[in-house]
Amino acid sequence: MKKILFISLLVFIISSCKKEDDSLFNISLLSTSPISLQEFQENIIVEIEFEHSEGFMGFYDPDYLSLEVKDSRLTNADYYHLIPLNPPDNELAIKGIIQLEIDAPFILGSGNLETLFFTMRIQDREGEWSNDISTPLISVSR
């Protein structure tokens, strides 16, 4: 009886052990400029710092869009392609900065001033999304 209990306990312990997910995929906002502008006049530059412990950022297929950028005033996000940052079939930790240029915003309503912010995230080649980051409020005037 003790043998059966010991074996059952051993099987339970082994089956309950899970490999910890050591992968790290994180982005953070470094800067956004300008945050006050006239419509159609200036593009917005957003600097994003990224870190991926396995280097699975970017896709070899140029039709695969993995950078999501959502204007807070709109329902749907825009998507962009990121090129791979490591050689094929290699798992190398990567860290760096993406400088994203967003086309000059314009006022959607009939007023003279609108505020907006952008929310961004990145999908890796494993299909996992990074955390979301948001820019500060951006004022757009006529």
CATH class, domain 21-141, is: mainly beta
pLDDT of residue 7: 56
All residue ranges of the chain with pLDDT < 50 are: 19-20
Query: Tens digit of pLDDT for each residue in 102-124?
Result: 999 999 989 999 999 999 999 99
Predicted local confidence at residue 15, as pLDDT: 54
Please state the pTM of the whole predicted model. 0.79
- pLDDT the model gives residue 4: 56
Task: Quote the pLDDT of residue 19.
Answer: 47
Q: Where are the alpha helices (DSSP H) in the chain?
A: 2-16
